[in-house]
Amino acid sequence: NAGVTQTPKFQVLKTGQSMTLQCAQDMNHEYMSWYRQDPGMGLRLIHYSVGAGITDQGEVPNGYNVSRSTTEDFPLRLLSAAPSQTSVYFCASSRDRANTEAFFGQGTRLTVV
């Protein structure tokens, strides 16, 4: 059982480049989300989705786009990378019920130079 799979694990981008971070889950979870983790700031929510075709913004959405065409996949697009987007990115999925936990991917370490 793969759980939540993120690719790539590491990425270096030049300022202004665009890229897509991939996230897939095989647990048929309705709820998926993207976080960034920065030192001393914990996890901050970028975007989330409660089902295919439905997405919404989190705490720090600027500079990022998402889409949810299937239940399994929730890619995160960086439109024009900036050094401030250097971070570790985590995708998570869960059932859409308040008493259930989130399952996390292994993370993508992104450096923008």
Partner 1 sequence: GNSVTQMEGPVTLSEEAFLTINCTYTATGYPSLFWYVQYPGEGLQLLLKATKADDKGSNKGFEATYRKETTSFHLEKGSVQVSDSAVYFCALRSTGNQFYFGTGTSLTVIP
Least CB distance to partner 1 at residue 107 (A): 5
Residue closer to partner 1 by CB (options 82, 102) is 102
Q: H or E segment at 25?
A: strand 19-25
Q: For residues 59 and 49, what is the distance between their CA atoms, to the nearest angstrom? A: 14
Which of 43, 72, 77, 82 is in the footprint of partner 1 by CB under 8 A? Answer: 43
98 binds partner 1 (CB under 8 A): yes
11: buried, middle or exposed (CB in 10 Å: 19+, 13-18, 0-12)?
middle
Pairing of strands 54-57, 4-7: unpaired
Q: Does the footprint of partner 1 cover residue 90 (CB under 8 A)?
A: yes
Which tokens go with 20?
Answer: 């897509």
Is residue 2 part of the contact set for partner 1 (CB under 8 A)?
A: no
The contact set with partner 1 (CB under 8 A) reads 4, 31, 33, 35, 40-43, 45, 48, 50, 58, 90, 92, 94, 96-107
